[in-house]
């Protein structure tokens, strides 16, 4: 029995290792390509070793003021829209979690995920017409609001189980001590739900950091984001693998840093979110 258990553990770790390597290979290959010259980028067969590494692709990006402005735009719109989604979503998710006797709760939860599943291309044309008539095309607040609208149903759906898992007895005790509804929510419920909020913020930030359709349709040259900039390296005649790979590598860094910082909260949040009512 011990031998079978040992072999099962080895097989499990082997599968996990292969899965991790498979998932990380695109990131590794992107970074490797960013260090190659144009000639080495198009080499057949591909060069994993034996090429002269260069940082010219990164030097050109940092020397271009447009890239730094686009990078700042992406960070700005992601941070603002994520904060808006977490704030509004926490109120909505808490209300939904405490509406145990509301007959339409389940249909409402299903409709939230269905809204998220709806392709953005279905709504982008009406949004373009609306933004055009209101004179909001190419404005940063427009991108922030649209990003938040698209991500809000998903955030509410994720956060609701976290609030459900918080015992009602804690809120009743605070109410007996004289706390009002807002004080109960901000001083009792939110601190306990913080791991769930962190997990939700990470998922929402990932969605919005990689958003392409909204900024390419509703944005402008002043509000261009990284996905739009990176797609610009592809033209009808050529594809600049080196600069595109360098820009993609730099685009990964903020999300990796944030994930490492909130790793503990993210893991505990995902574990707590598994407790469904």
Task: Report, as an integer, the average pLDDT of 101-128.
Answer: 77
What are the CA-CA distances from residue 126 to residues 84, 121, 146, 155, 213 (Å)? Answer: 22, 10, 12, 23, 14
> Can you give the residue range of the structural domain that contains 202?
57-273
Residue 251 lies in a domain: yes
Q: What is the mean pLDDT of the chain?
A: 84
pTM for this predicted structure: 0.82
**What CATH number did the domain enclosing 163 receive?**
1.10.3720.10
CA-based R_g, the chain, Å: 23
Residue 218 lies in a domain: yes
Q: Minimal CA–CA distance to 138: which of 76, 71, 29, 223?
A: 223
Residue 39 lies in a domain: no
> Could you report the per-residue pLDDT of 253-267, keeping only the tens digit for each?
888 887 777 766 666
Backbone dihedral region for residue 50 (phi beyond 0: left; psi -120 to 50: alpha; all else: beta)? left
User: Distance between alpha carbon 192 and the CA centroid of its chain, in Å?
Assistant: 23
Residue 22 lies in a domain: no
pLDDT category of residue 1 using cuts at 50, 70 and 90: low
> 277 pLDDT exceeds 50?
no
Residue 245 lies in a domain: yes
**DSSP-derived 3-state class of residue 222:** coil
**DSSP-derived 3-state class of residue 239:** strand
Residue 153 lies in a domain: yes
Measured between alpha carbons, how far is 245 from 21 in angstroms, rounded to an integer? 19
> Could you report the per-residue pLDDT of 147-162, keeping only the tens digit for each?
999 899 889 888 888 8
- CB-based contact 259:202 (threshold 8 Å): yes
Stronger pLDDT, 256 or 268, i.e. the higher one: 256
Q: Nearest 5°: CA angle at 202, between 28 and 233? A: 45
Residue 132 lies in a domain: yes
Q: Minimal CA–CA distance to 249: which of 83, 67, 78?
A: 67
> Could you report the per-residue pLDDT of 190-245, keeping only the tens digit for each?
888 888 888 888 889 988 999 999 999 998 889 999 999 998 888 767 778 888 99
- As for how many domains the chain has, the answer is 1
Stronger pLDDT, 18 or 276, i.e. the higher one: 18
> Could you report the per-residue pLDDT of 56-93, keeping only the tens digit for each?
889 988 888 899 999 999 999 999 999 999 999 999 88
Residue 45 lies in a domain: no
């Amino acid at each position: 029995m011990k031998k079978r258990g040992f072999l099962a553990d080895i097989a499990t770790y082997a599968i996990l290792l292969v899965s991790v390597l498979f998932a990380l290979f695109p990131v590794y290959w992107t970074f490797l390509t960013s260090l190659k010259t144009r000639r080495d980028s198009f080499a057949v067969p591909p060069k994993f070793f034996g090429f002269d590494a260069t940082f010219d692709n990164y030097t050109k990006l940092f020397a271009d003021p447009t890239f730094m402005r686009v990078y700042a735009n992406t960070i700005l719109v992601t941070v603002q829209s994520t904060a808006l989604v977490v704030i509004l979503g926490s109120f909505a998710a808490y209300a939904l979690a405490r509406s145990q006797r509301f007959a339409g709760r389940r249909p409402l939860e299903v409709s939230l995920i269905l809204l998220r599943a709806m392709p953005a291309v279905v709504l982008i044309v009406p949004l373009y017409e609306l933004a055009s008539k209101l004179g909001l095309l190419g404005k940063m607040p427009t991108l922030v609001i649209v990003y938040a609208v698209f991500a809000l149903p998903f955030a509410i759906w994720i956060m609701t189980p976290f609030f459900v898992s918080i015992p009602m007895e804690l809120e009743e005790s605070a109410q007996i001590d004289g706390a009002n509804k807002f004080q109960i929510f901000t001083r009792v419920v939110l601190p306990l739900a913080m791991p769930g909020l962190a997990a939700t913020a990470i998922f929402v930030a990932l969605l919005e950091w990689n958003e392409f359709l909204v900024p390419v349709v509703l944005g402008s040259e002043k509000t261009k984001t990284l996905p739009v900039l990176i797609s610009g390296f592809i033209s009808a005649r050529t594809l600049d693998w080196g600069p595109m790979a360098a820009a993609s590598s730099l685009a990964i860094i903020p999300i990796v840093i944030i994930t490492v910082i909130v790793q503990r909260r993210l893991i505990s949040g995902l574990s707590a979110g598994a407790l469904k009512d």
